[in-house]
Structure 1
Amino acid sequence: MTTKKMFLRPCTWVYLFLLSLTFVTWFIGVNNLSGRAFAFTVLGFALIKGQLIGDYFMGLKQVAGPWRWVIFVWLLLIGSLITAAFWKTL
């Protein structure tokens, strides 16, 4: 029986992806990029990061049933409310 070892585990790839999203968010902030597109980009990154953290680092990817959807529904609700608030002000 041979097993092929992966170079990096999935959590490590997710962590590197989270770091890259954080870097892009930092870059947007440092360069004072503003406007609706940048605001929604940063919000989208935050929602994606929240879902990835829930799936990979809270262990909800393997969970069946409603527990996995709690994080998704919460992020969707909060993201929708923030989007509605930004849409009216920008």
Structure 2
Amino acid sequence: MSNKPFLGILPSTWVYGILILLTFVTYSIGEQGLGGLQISLLVLGIAIIKGHLVGSYFMGLGQLRGLWRWPVSVWLIIPGALIATAFTLSY
């Protein structure tokens, strides 16, 4: 990842905007009262994407290589997979 501005805006600012947009999406889903397995998995997927963006850009893990980059990714993937499995089995 580079810190080179795109259209005059730093990458961390773009990521912050994306995080705000994804938060609005999940808020809208909740306000509309949408439900079901697909919606639940969508919200879970958005949460995992947001966690990955925070880890990569704001915790500085995107600049690391090798083993040090894996703990947060594994921390997101394993509970995410377990939650998705629980949602799917309970549906």
The TM-score with structure 1 as length reference comes to: 0.91
Q: Does the 8 A contact of 2:5 with 2:11 survive in 1?
A: no
CA shift in 2, pair 1:5/1:75, >3 Å: closer
Moved more, 5-14 or 66-75: 5-14
Letter in 2 for 1:85: A
Q: Indicate the residue corresponding to 1:52 in structure 2.
A: 53
Letter in 1 for 2:9: L
Q: Indicate the residue corresponding to 2:19 in structure 1.
A: 18
Aligned residues: 87
Q: 2:34 is paired with a residue of what secondary structure?
A: coil
Moved more, 69-78 or 42-51: 69-78
Q: Deviations over 1:18-39 (max 9, x none)?
A: 1000000000001100011110
> Post-superposition shift, 1:88?
1.2
Question: Is residue 40 of structure 1 aligned with residue 41 of structure 2?
Answer: yes
Q: Deviations over 1:33-88 (max 9, x none)?
A: 00111100000000000000000000011111211111111111010100111011
Greater Rg by CA: 1
Structure holding more helix per residue: 2
Q: Indicate the residue corresponding to 1:70 in structure 2.
A: 71
Distance in 2 (CA, whole Å) between partners of 1:43 and 1:67 is 24
Q: How many percent identity over aligned positions?
A: 49
Q: 1:34 is paired with a residue of what secondary structure?
A: coil
Give ranges in structure 2 of 5+ residues lacking alignment: none
Q: Structure 1 stretches (4+) deviating beyond 4 angstroms?
A: none
Distance in 2 (CA, whole Å) between partners of 1:85 and 1:36 is 11
CA shift in 2, pair 1:5/1:61, >3 Å: closer
Distance in 2 (CA, whole Å) between partners of 1:75 and 1:11 is 21
